Chain A
Amino acid sequence: MSKSISSEMILLIFLVIAEGFGYRYYATMESSLTREPSDSPENYALNFFVITILIFGIGGIQYIVSAVLSPMYPHDYTNFVDMCSMANISIIMFNEDLNGYYIHGKSASGNSDVSSEKLRLNLEAEIQGNATIRGIHPSIPEAQTFEIFLPNKMIDDYKKNFLTPVMITLEKGNKESESKYNAVQRAIT
């Protein structure tokens, strides 16, 4: 659960700029921009405008800085895709019934059930270009993450072969626990 920007940082900097440096007084109904409190009332629309500009300005700068630094400090999603590749595991996540995301996690060396030493050697081989591609197909070697739209039949298969048996087993387990709990209750009372 992470973001490229930090809400705490945005709010803190916003407070310093708006309240500390007095930029909130830009929203007062004065003919000139002032950062000092005055007797003029604040304009609600201007107030909203000042808050929006400051928050989005600070957030936008943070976003750009985070994007610039991402090659040195990779985001969590980059690490996750790398980990999937290393583990040789592909993932489908469902967002809605027929829509989701697919991560093609294919180890460039072909396998991942190896010792850490072999894993290190595999990575070195990959750096030197002596490994296969991580992407889904040689025509698109970099493509590892996709938005996926599934056919109805695939979802029906998923529901029939997986979700329904899981739900039935869970329900059965719950009923068993409930009956055991009731038996204990009866024994106590």
Chain B
Amino acid sequence: MQVADLYDLNQTSNVMNKIMKKYIDQVRAEPKSFIKEKRMVDRLFGLNPVEKRFPVMFKDKFLPSFSKTLLYGLEFDFMMMEVLIIALMDRCNYLPNDIQSGLAFGVLMAYLFDYILIWLRKYRGRKNLAMHTLSDEKFLVN
């Protein structure tokens, strides 16, 4: 890749940054119109607002919604996966084999699955970030 290409990319990201800022500034100027609180019905049925011109924002109440991208909020999904793996392995242990404790084997398998899933997410996530991130030159976090 040439230096000129990198320069062009930098210019592109600067233009995009300005466009994004324009949209957010509009929301900041009219918070009552664009910043809302999510209703219970919207949460239950996953209803999303349709706004053709500017973004619609929903205030977070308890946990920041973006924390899901850091695995926060997925704890109970992970626990359910562990339960299923342990129960499955314990159940499989009724077949003839040399495993002393199906439960301990299940725990080992659950740990390995957890580890592999998190590793995969890290690996794929890093690639995805590198591909799509549009960052300001001030942003130093990798």
What 0/1 pattern do residues 164 to 175 of A give for CB contact below 8 A with B? Answer: 011001001100
A166 cross-chain contacts in B, Cβ below 8 A: 9, 12, 131
| Cβ-defined contact, B72 with A11, below 8 A | no
Q: Which of B13, B24, B52, B132 contacts A102 (CB 8 A)?
A: B24
| Cβ-defined contact, A148 with B53, below 8 A | no
**A162 to nearest B CB, angstroms?**
4
Cα distance A80–B63 in the bound complex, in angstroms:
13
Q: Tell me the total A-B contact number using a CB cutoff of 8 A.
A: 191
Query: Given contacts A7-B82, A83-B141, A102-B24, is CB(A47)–CB(B87) below 8 Å?
Result: yes
Cα distance A7–B12 in the bound complex, in angstroms:
42
A80 cross-chain contacts in B, Cβ below 8 A: 70
Cα distance A103–B24 in the bound complex, in angstroms:
11
Query: Given contacts A137-B35, A162-B16, A173-B5, is CB(A151)–CB(B54) below 8 Å?
Result: yes
Q: Which of B5, B67, B101 contacts A19 (CB 8 A)?
A: B101
B55 cross-chain contacts in A, Cβ below 8 A: 102, 148-151, 154
| Interface members, chain A 72-92 (any B CB < 8 Å) | 75-77, 80-81, 83, 87-90, 92
| Cβ-defined contact, B71 with A3, below 8 A | yes
| Cβ-defined contact, A3 with B65, below 8 A | no
Cα distance A172–B107 in the bound complex, in angstroms:
48
Asked if B136 CB lies within 8 Å of chain A CBs, one says yes
What 0/1 pattern do residues 64 to 91 of B give for CB contact below 8 A with A? Answer: 1111111110111011001100110011
| Cβ-defined contact, B57 with A148, below 8 A | yes
**A20 to nearest B CB, angstroms?**
10
| Cβ-defined contact, A137 with B28, below 8 A | yes
| Cβ-defined contact, A148 with B56, below 8 A | yes
- Which B residues contact A (CB, under 8 angstroms)? 1, 5, 8-9, 12-13, 15-16, 19-20, 23-24, 27-28, 31-32, 35, 38, 48-49, 51-60, 63-72, 74-76, 78-79, 82-83, 86-87, 90-91, 101, 103-104, 107, 110-111, 114, 118, 121-122, 125, 131-132, 134, 136, 138-141
What 9 pairs between A and B have smallest CB-CB spacing?
A: A101-B66, A173-B1, A145-B64, A146-B57, A77-B67, A162-B16, A137-B31, A147-B65, A147-B58
